[in-house]
Structure 1
């Protein structure tokens, strides 16, 4: 996974340099405000309702992983479950590092 995180950091750096995204605080970005003449509304951080919906979704995913039958699953199911678990660990690390 280190190569993935290095690639992500590189892309975020390039997007910041090109003015496509703005850094709100460490680990929190948003799309840059629309340029003059562009009719798209400026991007805003997530609302509390959106965050609550994502929290419920994450909690369901965690419960699915906890209830998953790791011993009697197919190789494809095992791979998907491992990927979900890895993503949840990465998200937890990002949230711990974020100054919320």
Structure 2
């Protein structure tokens, strides 16, 4: 998936499990160690990518909420929802509710 920021669409995401990084557009996010967790080991590659995108975006949003304006944080929330919707449209509404209740 690549991210077309002008049109706010997700087109490319690259997952590198050995380095625990995810590249979204030009930003590379380092991930916490997940490979030793049993629930993560049992996931398919698509489920791992979906989980990592969700977690990485959630951590970015938390950081923005604590350090920048609410408007900037809301832009990241919308971006996260677009990423989740691209990965799994059937689960988008359920995740949106659980994510918003966590902020």
Same fold (TM over 0.5): no
Q: TM-score, normalised by structure 1?
A: 0.31
Whose RCO is larger (CA < 8 A, sep 6+)? 1
Higher relative strand content: 2
Q: TM-score, normalised by structure 2?
A: 0.31
